[in-house]
Structure 1
Amino acid sequence: MQPDNNNNNNKAPQILNASSNFLGFCFLVLTSIKLFKFGAVTIIDEVTAVSFVLFMCSCLCAFLSIRSRTKRAELYEAIAEYTFLAGLFSIFFMTILFVLEIIH
């Protein structure tokens, strides 16, 4: 396997892969919330929805970065990276809320 000489898109495929996996995780959490009927008493479903939107935006921008042949590829990759990071923080917050709700 040859090294990638194009430095513009070195993170976008990994961001796309991880973001799509976290989208599945968000679906699992939303389904669990509805199944256990936590949605009426917590804000976990709203935080999960925010995470879902952030990861969807990250997926879209990472894909556009991979497919773009212009200088915009760097911009798309940066947006994908920052929205992915924001999604990770929201997942962290959601996990803390979920754990506190189960303990309580």
Structure 2
Amino acid sequence: MPNTTSPHILNTAANLLGFCLFVITSLHIANLTETHLIDEFTSVIAIFLTCSCLLSFASIRTSNPERERRLETIADYLFVLSLAGILIVILLITLNFIG
């Protein structure tokens, strides 16, 4: 069975990783000490996205169909978890600057 979602996960997770790094850099440049929790949470999400990228790339490159499916499934779960985390970060940033 050919990879159906791994190329999409790899592309989107890499783009979202850039978003996370932008958020982390912006918080450090702005020197916002009250956003320390947002910074740490975004760093964890960046790690999940990096793992998702690596696993989806490995899924694309492997020739073993069982390993391909397993790597793709793990990458998919990490990606969805990361999306939920990004939603939480966006809500935290919004609530932090509104209040």
Instruction: Please indicate, yes or no, whether the TM-score normalized by the shorter chain is above 0.5.
Output: yes
The answer (yes or no) to whether the contact 1:8–1:74 under 8 Å persists in 2 is no
**Runs ≥4 residues deviating over 2 A:** none
Greater CA radius of gyration, 1 or 2? 1
More helix per residue: 2
User: Scaled by the length of structure 1, what TM-score is found?
Assistant: 0.90
Question: Could you tell me which residue of structure 1 aligns to residue 85 of structure 2?
Answer: 90
In 2, Cα distance between the equivalents of 1:37 and 1:48?
Answer: 16
* Cα deviation 1:46-72 (Å, max 9, x = unaligned): 110011001001000000000010020
C-alpha RMSD over aligned residues: 0.9
How far 1:8 moved relative to its partner?
3.6
Aligned pair partner of 2:98 in 85, 88, 103: 103
In the TM superposition, 1:68-87 aligns within 5 A as 68-70=62-64, 71-87=66-82
Percent same amino acid among aligned pairs?
39
Provide the secondary structure at the position in 2 that maps to 1:9. Answer: coil
How far 1:35 moved relative to its partner?
1.3
In 1, Cα distance between the equivalents of 2:98 and 2:31?
Answer: 16
In 1, Cα distance between the equivalents of 2:31 and 2:79?
Answer: 28
Structure 2, unpaired ranges of 5+: none
Structure 1, unpaired ranges of 5+: 1-6
How many equivalent residue pairs?
97
